[in-house]
Amino acid sequence: MYTGPFTPYEAAHLLRRAAARGNRAEAEALASLGLERAVDELLRPPEPAPDPEIETGPKVNQGRVHRALVRHWIDHWLRTPTPAAERLVLFWSGHFTSEFRKVKSGRLIWRQNQTFRTLGPGRFPELLEAVARDPAMLVYLDNARSKKQHPNENWARELLELFTLGEGHYGEADVKAAARAFTGWSVTPPRKARAEGREIAFEFRARWHDDEPKTFLGQTIRGGEEVLQILARHPQTYRFLARKFLRFYLAPDPPAELVERGAEVLQLEGSYGLLRWLFTHEAFYAPEARNALVKSPLEYLVGLLYVGKRPPERALGRALLGMGQVPFQPPNVAGWPEGQAWLGDAALLVRLNLLPAVLEETSDLFVFMDGADGAYAAVLPEGQML
């Protein structure tokens, strides 16, 4: 438990990591609450996000739909009284990835985003089951067409490698068994959904399912539910997740002892439980943690827009593309890069050019300067609320 001072300086650090946005008044208000109450205030239950108004239909302009989704999420992040939930949505978006370019449905992609918002703060088993039945994910990783005659292994492989256990903790036979177990996990055919005037949803197709016994991680199973249950109980799942959480919220190479303890908290108390533990831990406020992370382009942009003016929409879109992170369009199933990968020459130039386009001379951005001498450098990891 951190027992040091909790001034606006520490509160600004907490705001940066928890919410990726903030201003002088908010830092001062949090500091006045004291550490534990400030953390509780930031980790309130998420404010619901309204559904965006997006075009639908087989001939819709997909580029326009995608831009509307990006604008809607940024607007919500800027306005919501629970911004910590949105940074957690970003975390889960980079963990359970889906690409708009393949899913080709704004409604499905936004429903997935809403799932991260509503279930992301809670316990992992509930979120994992929801993602396994999520139409956007089933389409993206090709499980919607997986049949017992030819099981598709994409979802099963990424489930084990990227979403739960991580490499080295399963074998090829486990991938094949899981793929067979998830055959028949599909979605409503789009034409049928349109004809019946309903949304595309999860649909189990019994005729496609391989119901024969299979061996998965040493246990006999038949269906996908059992795969999810085994993974949701596995300690390695929580070690893998806890390390990703700490890389996202604390430092690029978190200490092993913190990962182990974080895994225990995550399994017992869920995502917000883990964040509450981390945000009140002495390691979180250590000097070496203050400038340890490089903000992703979306966080950088949200932080700027929150304290500055808004440039034209086209400029925002070009900026996100130039910095290398377009929401709902990760480069691959492993998600976006991190750390120094965000600071290539071209991407860094875009960051610098955004400063005069967004910031006003009267901005109170500089309350979030870190470092003993208060030196401001936009190119450094967290020397600012960007």
State whether 246 and 281 are in the same domain.
yes
State whether 304 and 361 are in the same domain.
yes
Report if residue 137 sits inside a domain: no
Report if residue 340 sits inside a domain: yes
Report if residue 33 sits inside a domain: yes
Name the pLDDT band for 65 (thresholds 50, 70, 90): very high
Cα three-residue angle 113-118-122, rounded to 5 degrees: 120
| Torsion region of 168: left, alpha or beta (phi above 0 gives left; psi -120 to 50 gives alpha) | left
Under 8 Å between Cβ of 169 and 179: no
Residue 261's domain comprises: 8-42+236-290
Report if residue 304 sits inside a domain: yes
Domain end (from 244, 272, 290): 290
Residue 14 has pLDDT above 60, yes or no: yes
Classify each residue of 342-353 as buried b or exposed e, where b means 16 or more C-beta atoms within 10 Å of its C-beta: beeeebeebbee
pLDDT greater at residue 56 or residue 167: 167
Report if residue 62 sits inside a domain: no
Report if residue 273 sits inside a domain: yes
Residue 174 has pLDDT above 60, yes or no: yes
Q: How many domains does the chain have?
A: 2
Q: Each residue of 266-307: pLDDT tens digit?
A: 999 999 999 999 999 999 999 999 989 999 999 999 999 999
Give me 158's structure tokens: 């990424």
Report if residue 240 sits inside a domain: yes
State whether 310 and 364 are in the same domain.
yes
State whether 286 and 301 are in the same domain.
no
Residue 178 has pLDDT above 80, yes or no: yes
Domain end (from 256, 271, 290): 290
State whether 334 and 282 are in the same domain.
no
Quick one: pLDDT at residue 248? 98
State whether 275 and 324 are in the same domain.
no
Can you tell me the distance from the alpha carbon of 271 to that of 95, in angstroms, rounded to the nearest whole number? 13
Q: Each residue of 200-243: pLDDT tens digit?
A: 999 999 999 999 999 999 999 999 999 999 999 999 999 999 99
State whether 302 and 360 are in the same domain.
yes
pLDDT greater at residue 127 or residue 383: 127
Can you tell me the distance from the alpha carbon of 28 to that of 89, in angstroms, rounded to the nearest whole number? 26
**Which of 51, 61, 15, 44 minimizes the C-alpha distance to 368?**
15
State whether 279 and 308 are in the same domain.
no
**Which of 207, 136, 144, 219 minimizes the C-alpha distance to 177?**
219
Quick one: pLDDT at residue 381? 38
> How high is the mean pLDDT of the chain?
92
State whether 282 and 339 are in the same domain.
no
State whether 275 and 303 are in the same domain.
no
Strand partners, 202: 187
Cα three-residue angle 230-274-297, rounded to 5 degrees: 100
3-state secondary structure labels for all residues of 316-352:
HHHHHHHHCCCCCCCCCCCCCCCHHHHHCHHHHHHHH
pTM of the model: 0.93
Report if residue 15 sits inside a domain: yes
Name the pLDDT band for 360 (thresholds 50, 70, 90): low
3-state secondary structure labels for all residues of the chain:
CCCCCCCHHHHHHHHHHHHCCCCHHHHHHHHHHCHHHHHHHHCCCCCCCCCCCCCCCCCCCHHHHHHHHHHHHHHHHHHCCCHHHHHHHHHHHHHCCCCHHHHCCHHHHHHHHHHHHHHCCCCHHHHHHHHHCCHHHHHHCCHHHCECCECCCHHHHHHHHHHCCCCCCCCHHHHHHHHHHCCCEEECCHHHHHHHCCCCCEEECHHHCCCCCEEECCEEECCHHHHHHHHHHCHHHHHHHHHHHHHHHCCCCCCHHHHHHHHHHHHHHHHHHHHHHHHCCHHHHCHHHHCCCCCCHHHHHHHHHHHCCCCCHHHHHHHHHHHCCCCCCCCCCCCCCCHHHHHCHHHHHHHHHHHHHHCCCCCCHHHHCCCCCCCCCCCCCCCCCC
Evaluated on CA atoms 195, 146, 202, 48, the torsion sign reads negative
pLDDT greater at residue 47 or residue 385: 47
